[in-house]
Structure 1
Amino acid sequence: MIQIAIVDDERAFLESYTHIVEKLFAKNRIEFVVQCFYKSEEFYHLLKRNYFDIVFLDIDMPEINGINLAADIRKLKLETTIIFVSSHSNLVFQSIHYAPFRFIQKDCLEDDTSEAIHAYCQQIKEKKNTIQLKIENGETYCFNLMQIQYFYSVRHDLFLVYSNKKIAKRLFPRAYTMDALGKMLHEKGFIRIHKSYIVNFKYIHQIQSDKVLLFDNSTLPISRSNVANVKRQYKVIMREDDAI
């Protein structure tokens, strides 16, 4: 799920622009959450605690302007995509220092934003840490694997669970099997711990004799006969991840 921030000190513009951004991400079939910030200082204080995949920054703001916010994002070495949104086209050259993905001019707002979001969505779909899956309404979406805790099945129904607020998504009926998902995700850091559960190794805190404990203290069942194999897979993935 893509985490989006929009920062602009004009309330009316912020509200209307949020609708534009939401509409365009939905059109590109990307799962997303948007947070809006009327005060740039509030966004600044959240930077160290909250990760955003993409940020739309106004430049001319009181308190902390968009250029300074971009500088802070780069100082923190965050892999956040920055898009400047401004009516001051003369600032485009100054903004280049912070490697923005796009510079959107407010007098070409919808066209520029549409192009930028489409290009961004195409880019993330090509990354290895995403997967395209058909959900229960029949539409195919791109999911960020880093934010999926696990998959589970109930009879023939398969679900994925997000780390963010434990959101569960039901996959399209009979489009997938646990065996097929297991093979698809094996090279992406997911481990089949039970016939009904496939877990992202990054969320595993402890592998016990009868369950797997996740970092959020939730537990999942593990097949007793599979404990040694799961531990072995976990160690292999951990070594590979440390080597990257």
Structure 2
Amino acid sequence: MDKPKLNILICDDDVEFIPVLKDKIIESFSSDFKIYLYTYSKSREVLHNMVKYDFAFLDIDMPIISGFDLSSFVSNFNYDAKIVFVSSKNELVYESFRFKAYDFIRKDNLAEFSIKSKLWIKDIIPKKYEYRYLGRVIGIDLKSIILVYKNVNEIYIVTPNETFRERMKISEMFNVLNRIERCFIKPHRSIIINLYHVIDIVKSEIYLSNGERILIPRPNRKQIKTEIMEFKSRGKRC
């Protein structure tokens, strides 16, 4: 079975530190993923060679374009990119989270890399919802679920390419999905929405990635809007 691919960016003006970090990344990720590493010592070089990075390890204190500024360009190109700031200035850790940092690594404590990388791997390995329907086992990548809705005695699970059916109460499905990963909200009693697929919220409507709009009942609007904004402020992390 082929390993999942990971595009990983390293940008640091300390050319002696780059191979050290590179070795740590290979050591931590290579057993689970096929790694494509892109290393740069000048932040402007990243702008001219942008790809959809899964991880971006960015030094903060770089000339011309800082790691903080560079992170905005990386995120704009791929919103789901996980930005890990790297610095010898520990006092910048708190400031880094204003830029939706996924994590922060201190150059003088790379021992923590091995510990944190195990959590990162757990976070990026696809989680699945598996069940049996009409004698066959069905497995659905959790992030691919856009919404779930009730129709008579069944529920329908909508993904970008296919809609699946399941015999379960929608309240039970809501609990099952959130036990796997707490990224689902219930705007009203007959619909579940995956926060990863919320594009926008305008007045009383949620806009989803498949073009659908879901009306939020008035009593639930404040809570649902708060949950969506908190999710976005965490950089789409559950």
2:79 counterpart residue number: 78
SS of 1:11 mapped into structure 2: coil
1:53 counterpart residue number: 54
- CA distance in 1 between counterparts of 2:8 and 2:78 reads 17
2:201 counterpart residue number: none
1:107 counterpart residue number: 108
Residue type of the alignment partner of 1:18: K
1:25 counterpart residue number: 29
Residues 170-189 of structure 1 aligned to structure 2 (within 5 Å)? none
What's the Cα RMSD here? Answer: 2.8
Q: Are the equivalent residues in 1 in contact too, given 2:53–2:74 (CA < 8 A)?
A: no
Q: Does 1:123 align with 2:123?
A: yes
1:126–1:10 Cα change, 3 Å:
same
Q: Are the equivalent residues in 2 in contact too, given 1:30–1:121 (CA < 8 A)?
A: no
Displacement of 1:103: 0.8
The partner residue of 1:7 within 4, 11, 32 is 11
SS of 2:105 mapped into structure 1: strand
Q: Are the equivalent residues in 1 in contact too, given 2:9–2:55 (CA < 8 A)?
A: yes
- CA distance in 1 between counterparts of 2:44 and 2:137 reads 43
1:239–1:184 Cα change, 3 Å:
closer
SS of 2:125 mapped into structure 1: helix
SS of 1:62 mapped into structure 2: coil
1:73–1:35 Cα change, 3 Å:
closer
1:162 counterpart residue number: none
1:125–1:238 Cα change, 3 Å:
closer
SS of 1:60 mapped into structure 2: coil
- Which consecutive residues of structure 1, in runs of 5 or more, have no partner in the other structure? 130-182, 189-235
1:59–1:184 Cα change, 3 Å:
farther
Q: How many residues align?
A: 140
2:176 counterpart residue number: none
Displacement of 1:45: 2.5
Displacement of 1:77: 5.7
Identity of aligned residues (%): 27
SS of 1:5 mapped into structure 2: strand
- CA distance in 2 between counterparts of 1:93 and 1:237 reads 37
The structure with the greater share of residues assigned to helix is: 1
- CA distance in 1 between counterparts of 2:39 and 2:104 reads 19
1:22–1:184 Cα change, 3 Å:
farther
1:36 counterpart residue number: 39
Q: Are the equivalent residues in 1 in contact too, given 2:52–2:78 (CA < 8 A)?
A: no
Residues 150-165 of structure 1 aligned to structure 2 (within 5 Å)? none
Q: Are the equivalent residues in 2 in contact too, given 1:22–1:34 (CA < 8 A)?
A: no
Residue type of the alignment partner of 1:80: A
- CA distance in 1 between counterparts of 2:104 and 2:59 reads 10
Residue type of the alignment partner of 2:112: D
- CA distance in 2 between counterparts of 1:90 and 1:237 reads 43
- Which consecutive residues of structure 2, in runs of 5 or more, have no partner in the other structure? 130-135, 142-158, 164-208, 213-238
Displacement of 1:85: 0.8
Displacement of 1:101: 1.7
SS of 2:46 mapped into structure 1: helix
